[in-house]
Chain A
């Protein structure tokens, strides 16, 4: 039966899990930024880039998951390709939170590592799905 259904079920599951995980990630990172600003010395010109990156990442994530899910379900490669491109931006932002943030706590390292792992797995599955749709 898989021959006439090209949509990738693991990819869809991963999108769903990614969405839930990202909500948790967003709230956790925001809470930790608030915590850091209270406990540590966090001047405004260091706080602003961190918060801006977090909100841009949230917007990109919503776009990415929507396009990817739509592309997978309608078996079109264009939205899926666009989603893959946006994933690159999300990966860069995740690396920013992992390495270039003002204060990187151990919790930051953990949740960003999980997110990067998820992105990597998703990218692989997206490439496989695009290959399946194109051919």
Chain B
């Protein structure tokens, strides 16, 4: 009947009553209705059991020994007697100190307080008091701290720091990602300035096409980042055979629905593009979607998600580290635009960079046929920290002329757009010319030329790029910084061959990264100062 149910709910349960009689208190009595070994206070033990004990594990049970006089139970084994027997004495233990507690009028003083049992009435208050990582014993002072925090939160603009979850109206901006297995979990918060790309699998039921929340566009643009609405930037529709078409009008919200036994407008890919200012505020958010369709047999879909951050008024330049270079990311390099004088003044134009981050500094890529004069294939980007060597074989015939051959080999070794400057940090901006290191060019010759007057043909046979880098910054988090880049071209003499003969010479190009970090200098801390302060409540009643 509902009345008794309501009565049961209203009754608060309390914990078991505390035991305060020292004669009945036994901490070593762990087994119920069985005798614990060497436990002299166990009521389940008989005299025969006591005669088998060697010592008493609990010799003394007392109350709080700060009281002036308290009862104490002493358990001991009389080993002289035959058989050994247990001696139990109940005495009054006296605390001789003059500051012993004679009496107390405060009931909770000397015992642990029983915690409040949560009911539906006091649950919210208990959660407020104990729900955070730390809580104080006085609930009033806890409320005061909350009031102190409120004025700063009232500030409408939020300044984000790296890694801080992006707040939306109800919670955080989430990027579904696989956790443990490849199934999507919707709990991954997106951190500010943390570019992420995730792929995960989601199980779908085609019958409930319109109700699959996580596969509908609305789910991802519904949560508005505080004061900024998420706009739809572009929508790409992918058909069942994988063909993608970009839609023209991207304002229309396309929700999943059933059409011709297929469930269309399912979100297969989504990427957020967040624009931020240099003070750490988010001013714009856009989402791009890839919508697909699934047929009745599909049990799961694979979704891919991405989030990227761009600073306002800058073109997104891919960085190779922040700030130091990260091993494995390509070296960033660029040119100074034509028509500008030698580097002296500060007001320089920006450097021109290749928008393809893998195409900025490249070396020759070895091909399977190893023929240098074959069609120039793709070049390998130089990745920071990876020493590389590559090469090809050059077949020289008698008919080859010196100058065109030299030019071809230079183009082969250096590539079409060999840059002039290399970024010293992974995130150097093109506007800061001082952050860029010029490439030094050296020429050496394989043979020592004594007779420079002889006009022999020098053809470049090897390009060695040596990148000297150092560790920069703090000892616990050193950042890699490029200090010096030297490109050395080694040439050799091309001897004129008799007609019909041909020679094969190897052409090599290599990249070497050298760590020239100086040993760390210890930074000594300041001398410790004596900080003698009285406790804050020393002059308690007067303060």
User: B239-297: which residues lie under 8 A (CB-CB) from chain A?
Assistant: none
A18-26, A70-78, A82-90, A100-108 - interface stretch: A100-108
- Residues 25-44 of A, flagged 1 when their CB comes within 8 A of B and 0 if not, give 00000101011010011010
Whether A105 touches B109, Cβ cut-off 8 Å, given contacts A34-B540, A51-B541, is: no
Inter-chain contact total with CB atoms closer than 8 Å: 47
Once the chains are docked, how many angstroms separate the CA of A103 from the CA of B104?
5
Once the chains are docked, how many angstroms separate the CA of A43 from the CA of B68?
22
Once the chains are docked, how many angstroms separate the CA of A97 from the CA of B253?
78
- Residues 117-132 of B, flagged 1 when their CB comes within 8 A of A and 0 if not, give 0000000000000000
A14 at the interface (CB under 8 A from B): no
B105 at the interface (CB under 8 A from A): yes
Question: Does A41 contact B68, Cβ atoms closer than 8 Å?
Answer: no
Question: Does A105 contact B102, Cβ atoms closer than 8 Å?
Answer: yes
Q: Which of A32, A43, A103 counts the most B-chain CB atoms under 10 A from its CB?
A: A103
30 CB contacts below 8 A, A to B, read A30-B541, A32-B99, A37-B537, A37-B540, A40-B109, A41-B106, A41-B109, A46-B106, A51-B541, A55-B541, A101-B105, A102-B104, A102-B105, A102-B106, A103-B104, A103-B106, A103-B109, A104-B101, A104-B102, A105-B98, A105-B99, A105-B100, A105-B101, A105-B102, A106-B97, A106-B98, A106-B99, A106-B100, A108-B102, A109-B102
B103 at the interface (CB under 8 A from A): yes
Residues of A within 8 A of B103 (CB): 99, 104
B108 at the interface (CB under 8 A from A): yes
Which of A100, A106, A110 is close to B105, meaning CB atoms less than 8 Å apart? Answer: A100
* Min distance, Cβ B284 to any Cβ of chain A, angstroms: 52
Residues of A within 8 A of B537 (CB): 37
Once the chains are docked, how many angstroms separate the CA of A100 from the CA of B102?
11
Once the chains are docked, how many angstroms separate the CA of A13 from the CA of B237?
108
Residues of B within 8 A of A34 (CB): 540
Question: Does A107 contact B98, Cβ atoms closer than 8 Å?
Answer: yes
User: A37-B537, A105-B99, A108-B102 known; 13 other A-B pairs, CB under 8 Å?
Assistant: A32-B99, A34-B540, A41-B108, A51-B541, A55-B541, A103-B105, A104-B103, A105-B98, A105-B100, A106-B100, A106-B102, A107-B98, A110-B98
* Min distance, Cβ A5 to any Cβ of chain B, angstroms: 42
Question: Does B99 contact A35, Cβ atoms closer than 8 Å?
Answer: yes
Residues of A within 8 A of B106 (CB): 41, 46, 102-103
Residues of B within 8 A of A109 (CB): 102
Q: Report how many residues on chain B are interfacial, defined by Cβ distance under 8 Å.
A: 17
* Min distance, Cβ A51 to any Cβ of chain B, angstroms: 5
Once the chains are docked, how many angstroms separate the CA of A30 from the CA of B103?
18
* Min distance, Cβ B536 to any Cβ of chain A, angstroms: 12
Question: Does B99 contact A107, Cβ atoms closer than 8 Å?
Answer: yes
Once the chains are docked, how many angstroms separate the CA of A51 from the CA of B541?
8
- Residues 53-73 of B, flagged 1 when their CB comes within 8 A of A and 0 if not, give 000000000000000100000
Once the chains are docked, how many angstroms separate the CA of A30 from the CA of B542?
12
User: B484-522: which residues lie under 8 A (CB-CB) from chain A?
Assistant: none
* Min distance, Cβ A21 to any Cβ of chain B, angstroms: 17
Once the chains are docked, how many angstroms separate the CA of A87 from the CA of B366?
110
* Min distance, Cβ A25 to any Cβ of chain B, angstroms: 15
* Min distance, Cβ A61 to any Cβ of chain B, angstroms: 17
Once the chains are docked, how many angstroms separate the CA of A104 from the CA of B24?
28
Question: Chain A: which residue is nearest B104 at the CB level?
Answer: A103
* Min distance, Cβ B80 to any Cβ of chain A, angstroms: 38
Question: Chain A: which residue is nearest B113 at the CB level?
Answer: A41
Residues of B within 8 A of A102 (CB): 104-106, 109
- Residues 83-99 of B, flagged 1 when their CB comes within 8 A of A and 0 if not, give 00000000000000111
Residues of A within 8 A of B100 (CB): 105-106
Once the chains are docked, how many angstroms separate the CA of A99 from the CA of B541?
22
Q: Which of A101, A106, A108 counts the most B-chain CB atoms under 10 A from its CB?
A: A106
* Min distance, Cβ A132 to any Cβ of chain B, angstroms: 40
* Min distance, Cβ A112 to any Cβ of chain B, angstroms: 11
Residues of A within 8 A of B104 (CB): 102-104
Once the chains are docked, how many angstroms separate the CA of A55 from the CA of B105?
20
* Min distance, Cβ A109 to any Cβ of chain B, angstroms: 5
